[in-house]
C-alpha cells in the first residue's frame, strides 16, 4: 500500500479538498504511474454532486489521466518505467463475457469497474480517480500514449475523445453526412474535430453565441444559435446525425425535428433527469434516438493512435488542483474552452 495525495468531495454538497488514501502495491500485471495531467469531465461534477445517485464518499473524481510510468509488475509486457501512459474511465472488467471478448469492456455484463466510484476488488473499497498523484492499474486497462502530442492536450482524449470518436465510427459518419454537434463543451469540441476529420459537414448547435468563431476554427462548417427559434426552424429536416452532448435537462423534441429522413440523434450527454420526447418528433422522418458510452480498450487505443497520426488534440485550459471548485462552477455556466486540465504538479 502507498499513501497517495488526492482531492476529494466528502459529500454531495461539499467542495473538493485535499484527501489522502491508499493505492495498492504494484502486482505482477500492474502498471504504476505518476499522474502528470488529469482532465475535468462534466461526469466528475455529476458524480461529485451525486446527480446520478450512487456516489460513495469521499469521492476522488478524474478519468482523463496521463502520466509517466514509475513501476511495472514482472508479468507486464507493454510498459516499462519512464513510458508515457494513460487511463480513461475503466480500470477493470470481467474479461470473459461476450462484450469484454469483443473489446466492448464498457458494456461488460458483469459490471465494468469505473476508474472512480467503482468497486475495487483489490482493496474491497471504492476506486479513486485521477485527481491524485499516482495510480496503479492492470496493464490491460492502460493505454499507450504518443510523445508526438503535448501531453496535457492528450488527457481529455481518454474520455471526451473516445466518447465522441466511438459513435462516429459505429455509425460510419463521414463524407456526404450532415452532422450536428449539440453543445460545444468538452465532448462537443472533440466531436467537431473528429466529425470534420472523417469528412462530414459539421454544424455546431449552441446556446452560446460567443462560441461561433471557435466552432468554425475547430473545423465546423456552420454554427446555429439554438436560443433563436428562427435559426432552428431553418434547420428542420437537415441532419443525418445529431451528437447530443448536453449535460443539463433540455427539450430533445425540438432538436429531433432537425433530423432528416432516417436521421439518428446519438445521446452521449447524461443530464440528471429523464428525457421527455414527443412521439411525433420521433415518428416523422422515421427518426431514431440512440446512446453511446465511452469506448472499449481497443477502440480507445485506436483513437489515441489516430489522434497522434492526425495531430488531433483537445483545446485545454490548464488549472491548478485548488481551482477545481471554481472550474466546476464555470463548467455549469458553459464557460469552458474547451476542457479544464489539472496540472498535477500543483497538488
Ligand atoms: P461540458 O464541457 O460542460 O459541455 C456541455 C455543453 O452542453 C455546454 O458547454 C453547453 O454548450 C451545453 N449545455 C449546457 N447546458 C445546456 C442546456 N441547458 N441546454 C442546451 N445546452 C446546454 O460537459 P462535457 O464534459 O462535454 O459532458 C457532457 C455530458 O456528457 C455530461 O452529461 C457528461 O456526464 C456526459 N458524458 C457522457 C459520456 C458517455 O460515455 N456517454 C462520457 C463523458 C461525458 P453550449 O454553450 O455550446 O450550449
Ligand atoms: Zn468523462
Ligand atoms: Zn465482461
Contacts of 62 (CB under 8 A, 6+ apart): 38, 39, 40, 44, 115, 116, 129, 130, 131, 132, 342
Q: Dump the DSSP string for 187-224.
A: HHHHHHHHHHHTT-EEEEEES-GGGHHHHHHHT-SEEE
Top mutation candidate among 42, 50, 258, 266 for ligand 1, by most atoms within 8 Å of CB: 42
All CATH 3.90.180.10 domain ranges of the chain, comma separated, are: 2-159+314-346
Strand partners, 191: none
Written as tens digits, the pLDDT of the chain (347 aa) is 899 999 999 999 999 999 999 999 999 999 999 999 999 999 999 999 999 999 999 999 999 999 999 999 999 999 999 999 999 999 999 999 999 999 999 999 999 999 999 999 999 999 999 999 999 999 999 999 999 999 999 999 999 999 999 999 999 999 999 999 999 999 999 999 999 999 999 999 999 999 999 999 999 999 999 999 999 999 999 999 999 999 999 999 999 999 999 999 999 999 999 999 999 999 999 999 999 999 999 999 999 999 999 999 999 999 999 999 999 999 999 999 999 999 999 99
129 contacts: CB under 8 Å, gap ≥ 6? 38, 44, 60, 61, 62, 63, 65, 115, 116, 117
- What is the model's pLDDT at position 53? 96
Residues with CB under 5 A from ligand 2 (ion): 41, 43, 159
- Tell how far the Cα of 267 is from the centroid of ligand 3, in angstroms: 23
C-alpha cell at 40: 475535468
> Residue 341's pLDDT is what?
98
Q: Which ligand is nearest to the CA of 211?
A: 1
Nearest CA to ligand 1 atom 30: 269
Q: Does domain 2-159+314-346 have CATH number 3.30.365.10?
A: no
Residues with C-beta atoms within 5 A of ion ligand 3: 93-94, 97, 100, 108, 110
What is the whole-number distance in angstroms between the Cα of residue 45 and the centre of ligand 2?
10
Neighbours of 43 (CB within 10 A): 26
Where along the chain do the CATH 3.40.50.720 domains lie? 161-291
Fold of 161-291: Rossmann fold (3.40.50)
Phi then psi dihedrals of residue 139, to 5 deg:
-60, -25
**How many other β-carbons are positioned within 10 Å of the β-carbon of residue 173?**
24
In whole angstroms, give the CA distance from residue 214 to residue 310.
Answer: 20
Among 40, 88, 187, the mutation site with the greatest number of ligand 1 atoms within 8 A of its Cβ is 187
**What's the gap in Å between 293 CA and the centre of ligand 2?**
10
| For helices 160-170 and 186-197, angle between their N-to-C axes, nearest 10 degrees | 40
Which run of H or of E encompasses 77?
none
Q: Measured in whole angstroms, how far is the alpha carbon of residue 94 from the centre of its chain?
A: 22
Task: List C-alpha distances in Å: 214 to 161, 189, 211.
Answer: 18, 9, 5
How far does the centroid of ligand 1 lie from the alpha carbon of residue 123, in Å? Answer: 33
Atom of ligand 1 nearest to the CA of 334: 9
Model pLDDT, residue 261: 98
Q: Which ligand is nearest to the CA of 111?
A: 3
List the alpha helices (DSSP H) in 220-272: 229-234, 252-256
pLDDT of residue 111: 95
Give yes or no for a contact between 312 and 194, defined as CB atoms under 8 angstroms apart: yes
Distance 298 CA to ligand 3 centre (A): 14
DSSP 3-state assignment of 235?
Answer: coil
The atom number, within ligand 1, closest to the CA of 208 reads 46
pTM: 0.98
| Closest ligand, as measured to the CA of 331 | 1
- CB within 6 Å of ligand 1 — which residues? 41-43, 46, 159-160, 163, 183-188, 206-208, 211, 245-248, 250, 268-270, 292-294, 331, 334, 336
Q: What is the pLDDT of residue 1?
A: 86
Amino acid at each position: 500500500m502507498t499513501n497517495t495525495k488526492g482531492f476529494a468531495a466528502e459529500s454531495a454538497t461539499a467542495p473538493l479538498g485535499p484527501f489522502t488514501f491508499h493505492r495498492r502495491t504494484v502486482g505482477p500485471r500492474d502498471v504504476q504511474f505518476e499522474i502528470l495531467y488529469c482532465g475535468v469531465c462534466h461526469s466528475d461534477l455529476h458524480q461529485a454532486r451525486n446527480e446520478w445517485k450512487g456516489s460513495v464518499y469521499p469521492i476522488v473524481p478524474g478519468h482523463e489521466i496521463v502520466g509517466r510510468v514509475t513501476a511495472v509488475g514482472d508479468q507486464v509486457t507493454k510498459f516499462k518505467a519512464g513510458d508515457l501512459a494513460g487511463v480513461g474511465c475503466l480500470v477493470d472488467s470481467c474479461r470473459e463475457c461476450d462484450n469484454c471478448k469483443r473489446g466492448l469492456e464498457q458494456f461488460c455484463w458483469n459490471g465494468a469497474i469505473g476508474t472512480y466510484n467503482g468497486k475495487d476488488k483489490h482493496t474491497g473499497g471504492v476506486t479513486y480517480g485521477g485527481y491524485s498523484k499516482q495510480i496503479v492499474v492492470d496493464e490491460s486497462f492502460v493505454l499507450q500514449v504518443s510523445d508526438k502530442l503535448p501531453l496535457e492536450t492528450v488527457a481529455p482524449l481518454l474520455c471526451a475523445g473516445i466518447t465522441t470518436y466511438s459513435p462516429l465510427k459505429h455509425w460510419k459518419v463521414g463524407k456526404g453526412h450532415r452532422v450536428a454537434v449539440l453543445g460545444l463543451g468538452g465532448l462537443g469540441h472533440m466531436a467537431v474535430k473528429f466529425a470534420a476529420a472523417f469528412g462530414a459537414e459539421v454544424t455546431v448547435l449552441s446556446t452560446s453565441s460567443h462560441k461561433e468563431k471557435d466552432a468554425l476554427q475547430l473545423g465546423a462548417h456552420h454554427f446555429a444559435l439554438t436560443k433563436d427559434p428562427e435559426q432552428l426552424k431553418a434547420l428542420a429536416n437537415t441532419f443525418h446525425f445529431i451528437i447530443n452532448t448536453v449535460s443539463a435537462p433540455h427539450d430533445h423534441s425540438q432538436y429531433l425535428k432537425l433530423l432528416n429522413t432516417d436521421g439518428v440523434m446519438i445521446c452521449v450527454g447524461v443530464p440528471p433527469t429523464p428525457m421527455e420526447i414527443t412521439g411525433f418528433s420521433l415518428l416523422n422522418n422515421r427518426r431514431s434516438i440512440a446512446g453511446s458510452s465511452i469506448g472499449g480498450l481497443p477502440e480507445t487505443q485506436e483513437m489515441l493512435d489516430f489522434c497522434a497520426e492526425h495531430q488531433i488534440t483537445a483545446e485545454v485550459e490548464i488549472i491548478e488542483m485548488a481551482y477545481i471548485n471554481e472550474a466546476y462552477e464555470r463548467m455549469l455556466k458553459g464557460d469552458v474552452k474547451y476542457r479544464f486540465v489539472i496540472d498535477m504538479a500543483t497538488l
